[in-house]
Amino acid sequence: MHKKISSALISVFHKDNLEPIIKKLNKLGVELYSTGGTLKFINELGIDALAVEKMTTYPSIFGGRVKTLHPAIFGGILYRRDNQEDVKQASEFDIPSIDLVIVDLYPFEETVKSGASEADIIEKIDIGGISLIRAAAKNYKDVLIVSSRDQYAELEEILEAGNGKTTLEERKRFAAYAFNTSSHYDTAIFNYFNETESIASFKNSTLQGRTLRYGENPHQEGLFFGDLEKVFTQLHGKEISYNNLVDIEAAVSLIKEFEGENAFAILKHTNACGVAIASTIKEAYLKAFEADTLSAFGGVLISNSEIDLETAEEIDKLFFEVLLAPSFSNEALDVLKSKKNRVLLKLNAYPENKVMFKSLLGGVIQQGANSKTDSKDDLTQVTNRKAEQAEIEDMLFASKICKHTKSNAIVLAKNGQMLASGVGQTSRVDALQQAVKKAKTFGFDLQGASLASDAFFPFADSVQLAHEAGITSIIQPGGSKKDQDSIDFCNKHNMAMVFTGTRHFKH
């Protein structure tokens, strides 16, 4: 059903790209109604518009809090054009028809992010605008609602193609946009208030989204909601997949642990198969690659330092899916772009993940992010032999990796290099055996190596296996009823062990 736009109410906070819309409506002979700054903007274009105050016979009151909240406005939007009683009442009360509503909302989220005072934030809770959006969207059979400047281009196309007429399908689509806008806005306001109230209600809203090629497997649909450009800029390669994004999240979270050092990590299925720190990024890459030259094939690579030409020439020898770094030299890019499908990403910023959630059992589970990184100040030396400085450094290095490894997890390290890991095992003994076997497979000598465990040892068997492999220092949370058994074994065999008091399960 086509509807001709004869009148429009325009009241917006942002005036960007509004001018061509105003001029087009004027050309089509549409009568314009407006408020405050928007009215002034329209008049400065040399176009007439009727002030809302003349429609309502009330001025803007309470510091602008009440402008459009009046039956003359909402009646003109909500009355049903095909309902004779509604039409009669509109005529009786001299309520003009409003066929198009263009309105946006006060920038509440931006005001919160700016660190503004509570008073300023409260004033940016839109009342009139959100009400206009809901009213016009509800009556989409008769009214077209434009609820964001992001929709201006599409509105221009509709006005041009329909010569001022709209279809029911167009109006319903814009109504869906509108309820998306209003629900997102209300979610942001609730979450702001709930920072202090802690009401047990899950609400999350993201306006930006993109369709992925598929999900975890080709038969599954995949979408991403969020702003990837805040985190990285794609410089080269094929479209990023669902699995790529999962691995990228793991890679970024891990490499963030090593700020201030030249660090390189290689990941597969969210677990690190190689991590190292060194004086140069090339050396860090080679040490990381050395840890597992087999699993590195097809992996996700990440550096916290610029990729230079020498490093790029080494990386170029490996088939990989994704490489992230804060920057690339021009010469490095020339080398790495030689394979068309390689995904090269410039890391812009680390995402701030304060809350983590996932769907399960038909609902959602939520927790705070694991922002705790074990440091020297957290260590309690529990054995007779105290860990040496080099051992402490290796234990903390291993602990950072272990924190980002699927439980049950064991990480072995020496001289700033991950030697091996045991990941996702159903027992800690299995994880340790896996790590020891893997280290030996790739030719590492574990004599003097350090071990990190994501959780306590329930028995002394893991400590015994570590000793037999040549490991001399262990970092773990502690907290087992049989901690003393592990401490006694370490004392008997001159091993150093420290407790952190913090478990790092990851599932």
Residues labelled as active-site residues: 138, 269
H or E element that contains 268:
strand 262-268
DSSP reduced 3-state for 383: coil
Which amino acid, one-letter code, is at 201? S
Structure tokens at 262: 């030249």
Residues 192, 32 contacting (CB under 8 angstroms): no
Q: DSSP string covering 277-299, please? A: EESSHHHHHHHHHHH-TTTTTTE
Coil, strand or helix at 11: strand
For residue 457, which of 438, 439, 426, 479 has the smallest C-alpha distance? 479
**What's the CA gap between 229 and 241, in Å, rounded?**
15
Whether 126 and 182 have beta carbons less than 8 Å apart is answered as: no
What is the C-alpha separation between 287 and 418, in angstroms, rounded?
A: 8
Contact 36, 130 (CB under 8 A): no
Nearest to 136 by CA among 95, 186, 174: 174
DSSP labels, 137-182: HHTTTT-EEE--GGGHHHHHHHHHHHTTEE-HHHHHHHHHHHHHHH
| Tokens (6 digits) for 433 | 């055996």
Q: Give phi and psi for 111, each to the nearest 5.
A: -65, -40
Tokens for 251, please give them. Answer: 């890679």
Contact 331, 286 (CB under 8 A): no
**3-class secondary structure, 449:** coil
The torsion defined by the Cα of 156, 161, 166 and 167, in degrees rounded to 10, comes to -130
